[in-house]
Homo-oligomer: A and B are copies of this chain.
Amino acid sequence: MPHPLPPPRWQRRAEARPQELLEAALTEFVARGYAATRLDEVARRAGVSKGTLYLYYENKAELFKAVVRRALVGNLDEAEARVAGHAGSSRDLLAWMLTEMTRRVSNSELSGIPKLVISEAGNFPEIARFYFDEVIRRGRDIVQGILRRGMDSGEFRPVDPEYAWRVIIAPVMLGILWKHSFMAVDPHGLDFERHLRSHLDLLFDGLSAPGRKRTEETP
């Protein structure tokens, strides 16, 4: 008469482990920040023992870097491809990009990464540089590309492309910070749809009423 085997104390998951560990670590890092994250907790969340972490990552700092790295891989590939494919109007392209970014922010836990990087940039210059090179610089190039195309075609007003891109991106960044820093204390929360609409509206058409635009002030 067979009776059930006791469940195994643990399982070999050599292939799956790294992903699981990074996911657990991402959650903890995002929730608590680097310093306040205890490896004990990461391990527990991943369902392994503390020692197992060290089979895959040399130490806490390396684990952190791995989390950031993984989160960024391939993040901008689609955007770069789409821009290179230059479909339609520059306005639509830019709108698409900002929409896409907002959508990602609102959906995924990965949006915690930028906040983490910002928070820890001082203590992890290496991470800051990596993020700057892999995300910010590439993002800048994409936006600048769209801007230049739009100005060339006459769709956009002449702006300072060296600086305008940051202004254009800023509301998306603010959405990230809102989500991860103030959502919990803001009784109204943040409706990303509406935030995006406001963003696009102001970005393209500005705040000034048409008849009073400075650009049309010339008599």
CB contact under 8 A between A128 and B207, given known A31-B122, A168-B202: no
Q: Which residues does A use to contact B, with CB under 8 Å?
A: 31-36, 91, 94, 115, 117-123, 125, 128-129, 132, 136, 150, 154-157, 159-160, 162-164, 166-171, 173-174, 177-178, 180-182, 184-186, 190-191, 194-195, 197-199, 201-210, 212-216
CB contact under 8 A between A208 and B122, given known A170-B173, A174-B166, A203-B202: no
Residues of B within 8 A of A213 (CB): 204-205, 210
Question: In whole Å, how far is A152's beta carbon from the nearest beta carbon of chain B?
Answer: 12
Question: In whole Å, how far is A42's beta carbon from the nearest beta carbon of chain B?
Answer: 16
* Cross-interface CB contact of A170 among B170, B191, B210, cutoff 8 Å: B170
CB contact under 8 A between A163 and B194, given known A119-B118, A177-B173, A186-B132: yes
User: DSSP majority for the A interface?
Assistant: helix
Known: A155-B209, A164-B207. 12 other contacts (CB 8 A): A33-B119, A94-B207, A117-B181, A121-B182, A128-B182, A157-B206, A157-B207, A157-B209, A167-B171, A170-B170, A173-B173, A204-B208
Residues of B within 8 A of A132 (CB): 182, 185-186
* Cross-interface CB contact of A118 among B91, B177, B201, B206, cutoff 8 Å: B177
Question: In whole Å, how far is A186's beta carbon from the nearest beta carbon of chain B?
Answer: 6
- CB-based nearest B residue for A214: B205
Question: In whole Å, how far is A73's beta carbon from the nearest beta carbon of chain B?
Answer: 20
CB-based closest 4 A-B pairs: A206-B206, A35-B35, A119-B119, A121-B181
Contacts A/B (CB < 8 Å), 20 sampled: A35-B35, A91-B208, A94-B207, A118-B118, A118-B177, A121-B185, A132-B185, A132-B186, A150-B207, A155-B208, A162-B194, A164-B198, A166-B178, A166-B190, A166-B195, A168-B202, A174-B174, A204-B208, A205-B206, A210-B215
Complex CA distance for A112 and B83, rounded to whole angstroms: 36
Residues of B within 8 A of A121 (CB): 180-182, 184-185
